[in-house]
Amino acid sequence: MLAALRGRIAAAPWIWSFLGTAATWLVTVSISGGRGGEEIISAALTFSAFTVLVSLGQMMVITTGPGNVDLSIPSVIALSSAVAMLVMDERAGMIVPGLAAAVAAGLAVGGANYGLIRLLRIPPIIATLSSSLVVMSVAIVLGRGLKIKPPQVFADAVTTKVAGVPLLAIVALAAAVAIAFVLERTLYGRTVSAIGQSRRIARLAGLDVERASLLTYMLSGGLAGLTGALIAGFSGGNSLDQGAEYLLLTIAVVVIGGTSVSGGRASVPGIWGAALFMFLIVTMLNASGVSPGLRMLITGLIIIGVIAVGGSERAPR
């Protein structure tokens, strides 16, 4: 019985992030004296939606094996938000082209990242880091000294709620379901997992390893591009610094969510669990009023704790 349960949990390492989320929420509500439990969940769903969208891309990249990581996400968000707002230019009719342009910018950066890795044989961590510098420079040139407002319709759409649930959260949930389907049921998805487990064997098995890698970096860039446009709509315009927090956050969310850092095994539900968890830790510590130094310390300890508990249940590879 117990062994069966343990087996279940080992197969679903993401469960810990949801347990952590629930515990954090309970503590927060008890600190606030029972006030605002529902509103906290609503805020958590909204802001986690952004985190989920970018982290899904990061998860796919990390799943393609050791050393693969996308450090260009913050720059892509800065660039795509500027592109989206420039194209929309406060006109409601240009919302779709604006979103398309933002995604296209992200896809292009993703493709370029892969090009650097493949053609110049630069390690992904260096390739995406250096491309992020170039992308940020482009974003500075494009967005310098101007914060363009989103069209009112777009701003209303991204802040709207459907039956009490933020529309953004529904979009992010749909994206998560789609990625889960792709991972489990498509040749591309299975190839990504296979590459992460062993690139050599995947190639010998006749899988198109290079195409899958290219698509993965493009997917990560495209999702970051979309997120950049959505953040600009949500926050009243584009700015250069709005992606900065997503560099370490996406990596933390992927790892806490139970995706294997060494690749080969993704965990889509864990992305949602960990994104909510990361938001609620901050809310909990803010509500508790402890000093900033202590907040960082506690955040670090909690993250280590969750990974240690989740990790110890995993079968050795």
- Positions touching other proteins (CB under 8 A) are 28-29, 31-32, 35-40, 43-44, 46-47, 78, 133, 136, 140, 143-148, 159, 231, 234-237, 239-242, 244-245, 279-280, 282-283, 286-287, 289, 292-293, 295-296
The span from the CA of 214 to the CA of 176, in Å, is 20
- Nearer to other proteins among residue 44 and residue 207 (C-beta): 44
12 vs 244 by CB, closer to other proteins: 244
The distance of closest approach from Cβ of residue 209 to other proteins in the complex, given in angstroms and rounded to an integer, is 32
The nearest distance, CB 6 to other proteins, in angstroms, is 34
Output 61 or 285, the one with its CB closest to other proteins: 285
Exposure class string for 212-248: b at 16+ Cβ within 10 A, else e:
bbbbbbbbbbbbbbbbbbbbbbbbebbbbebbeebbe
Q: Residue 141 Cβ, how far from other proteins at the closest point, in Å?
A: 11
What's the closest the beta carbon of residue 156 comes to other proteins, in angstroms? 11
Instruction: Return the number of the residue (235 or 262) whose C-beta is nearest other proteins.
Output: 235
3-state secondary structure of 210: helix
Total count of residues recorded for the chain: 317
Our CB check for other proteins shows the closer of 217 and 246 to be 246
Beta-bridge partners for 257:
none
CA count, 13 A, side-chain hemisphere, 311? 11
All residues at 6 or more sequence positions from 55 whose CB lies less than 8 Å from its CB, including other chains: 249, 250, 253, 254, 257, 271, 274, 275
Q: What is the closest distance, in whole angstroms, from the C-beta atom of residue 316 to other proteins in the complex? A: 37
